[in-house]
Amino acid sequence: MVAFGKKLKERQILEWQGYYINYKLMKKKVKQYAQQIEVGTQDRQHVLKDFSRMLDNQIEKIVLFLLEQQGLLASRLAKLDEQHDALQQQPKISQICELRQAYRAVGQDLLKLLFFVEVNAIGLRKILKKFDKRFGYRFTNDYIKTRANHPYSQLQQVFKHVGIGAVVGAISRNLHELQDRQGSYLSIYDQSAPPLQDPVIDSIKAAVDRLTHSTNFLNFLAQHALIMQEEFPTPVEEQVDDQNYHFMSLLLNLVNTFLYMVNTYIVVPTADDYSLSLGAAATVCGIVIGAMAVAQVFSSVYFSAWSNKTYFRPLVFSSVVLFVGNILYALAYDFNSIAVLLIGRLLCGLGSARAVNRRYISDCVPQKIRMQASAGFVSASALGMACGPALAGLLQTNFKIYKLTFNQETLPGWVMAVAWLLYLIWLWISFKEPSREIEENHIPQESNAVVVENDALENGLKQPLLASSSEDRQQDEGGEQECDESKEASKDPCQPATSIRSAYRLLTPSVKVQLLIYFMLKYVMEILLSESSVVTTYYFKWSTSTVAIFLASLGLTVLPVNIVVGNYISNMFEDRQILLASEIMVFIGILLSFHIIVPYSVPQYVCSGLILFVSAEVLEGINLALLSRVMSSRLSRGTYNGGLLSTEAGTIARVIADGTITLAGYLSESRLLNITLLPSLFICISSIVATCFTYNSLY
């Protein structure tokens, strides 16, 4: 996170300087309060009263100026409306064009005003967080509760945007009517379909959405990708976005994500049968499935580093390695070699290009559609997770071509090899390597202030106006300490992490707990999915098709669950409450999965598995949404970024889970279920305790 005071100074327009929040003064005041309380010259009650009064004065100054500027915009629009009415009688193309430009100019000034509100909102959120942190008192809760709900609340002027909405409506309606549509003047109210939007209206709506930050499914889902953004991107970033964006390349990245997830889970229903066919125990399926995750631990690092220089070559390498890996996986049956099988799966893991897919979205997709692209990344992963087992269930055949065997064990390898070959051809023909020349150029020293602000606004903040108390308490303490008040000797204290060690040092206690939660949920889910075939065969004699249907059904719950959480649950409860409740539900799901005394039944297994999987999905969604907000922005770029850390935590969890299945299998298949659930139970309890302890002590 960059220093707010420095960025505020860079972005301020000279004639509006006196109306911005005096962040520097309030920051000094907070330090003075701390010193006064320490020496005993002031009591806590007086400090709270004085700080509240200062905040009230700052907000009043901002709101009065905001109302004044809205009035000026309204006056300009009234004059333009008079000109518009005159043109209705005698329309002239030249005058219509001039009038449209005049309306756009009002829209640009409104963007400038929205940016003014946005900067001040960031300042208020940060100073409230700083005060809470310094005094260990939840002042933010009380202040917002008493001010926001009061009938004379000035905070409501910022929250509701009533005047701004009216200005946007006037600009939008008039620009629409001035569009040349075969000489007719149509109103936006006369059509059922939304009218074509002018670019300035799209920019204004995006700015208002950032300010209100209403939680919705798309935004909630996009945060799962852990593609974080700077609060004030520079103008060059938007230029890079526009020149680098290529829709087909983005689509190829999403297809790569989808195919890789299909490749990961297509072997799950048949891995135990394949192991038995090669003379190994059925529980060796844990190693077979986990081999891919083992290799991914290393591939994530070198792919992340490789993406600093190019995107095309890593994707080509990924496709080739996955093609070869799947061929070896399929040939292992005819070679009768478990070693060839494992080598094939290891190669598949070495082809994991998820770090490249995520990095491409972060670097080469414009800000205005980056949220949709991030949501697409998560959706492609979820769809691949569901399609993998479903596809395996369809491959129930057995035949030979020459000496090559095609059956339910080998067909997943053959099918994925063909899929990666076709993808490689498509990639070679259609992918466009983004230019990196612009990224190396420096931003010019002098630039028009309005252009700077509009670019910053277009790329701007995704944080709430004044975040809920839980979000305020969970902002990036580590990032602010490192960058806002850093005493490092480095010329650029906000540079990306240069190693795993330096990245780990940037993690705050709350982030470490959330990574532990991510580790736990990935471990629990991997245990459930990887041993499903062995457990259901032992207890219920399920066929491969039945296992495939069960796993595909679990995978299909991912998007509906996220829709419910993103649209409804996250609006009704605090993130911390959902996080803890989800952990408890995972704990209950694990308890219900144990086989104790009574005969193990299909309803018990299906219901406990569904509770466990759905709860883990809810937990993953809310946990990653929190991580995307509280992780240091120094981890938003570079090789050792937040996405890599979360990927490594989840991948290591999967490796350990698959290893646990294989080790437990040496005892006996009858004990496999309970033995593998015991570590899950222990890790789940640990994460719940860590969550309660960390959030109670810090927040």
Query: Mind listing the pLDDT tens digit for each residue in 644-654?
Result: 788 888 889 99
What proportion of the chain, given as a percentage, has pLDDT over 70?
Answer: 72
Q: Tokens 């809470």 identify what position?
A: 132
**DSSP-assigned letter for residue 181:** B
In the numeric block, which tokens belong to residue 224? 């799962």
Residue 442: pLDDT above 50? no
pLDDT tens-digit series, residues 624-634: 777 766 676 66
Q: Is the dihedral of CA 172, 175, 178, 180 positive or negative?
A: negative
pLDDT at 695: 62
The amino acid at residue 517 is I
Question: Which residues make Cβ contacts (< 8 Å) with residue 42, sequence separation at least 6?
Answer: 33, 36
Which of 122-136, 159-173, 408-422, 586-600 has the highest average model confidence (pLDDT)?
Answer: 408-422
Residue 498's beta-bridge partner residues?
Answer: none
pLDDT at 657: 92
Residue 495: pLDDT above 50? yes
Identify which has the larger pLDDT, 244 or 63.
Answer: 63
Residue 660: pLDDT above 80? yes
pLDDT at 126: 79
Q: What average pLDDT does this structure show over 147-171?
A: 64
Query: pLDDT band for position 205 (50/70/90)?
Result: low
- Distance between first and last Cα of the chain: 20
pLDDT at 612: 93
Can you tell me whether residue 405 is helix, strand or coil? strand
pLDDT at 15: 65
| 357 and 377 Cβ atoms separated by less than 8 Å | yes
Residue 494: pLDDT above 60? no
Please list the alpha-helical segments (H only) found in 351-366: 354-364
Instruction: Give the angle 475-481-487 at the CA atoms, nearest 5°.
Output: 165
pLDDT at 563: 79
Residue 664 phi, psi (nearest 5): -65, -30
In the numeric block, which tokens belong to residue 70? 């809205």
Please list the alpha-helical segments (H only) found in 474-599: 477-483, 500-505, 509-530, 532-540, 544-556, 558-564, 570-572, 575-593
Mean pLDDT of the chain: 77
pLDDT at 402: 84
Q: What average pLDDT does this structure show over 507-528?
A: 88
The amino acid at residue 492 is D
pTM: 0.66
Residue 423: pLDDT above 90? yes
Percentages helix, strand, coil for the chain (3-state, rounded to 5) are: 75, 0, 25
**Range scoring the smallest mean pLDDT among 36-50, 368-382, 465-479, 520-534:** 465-479
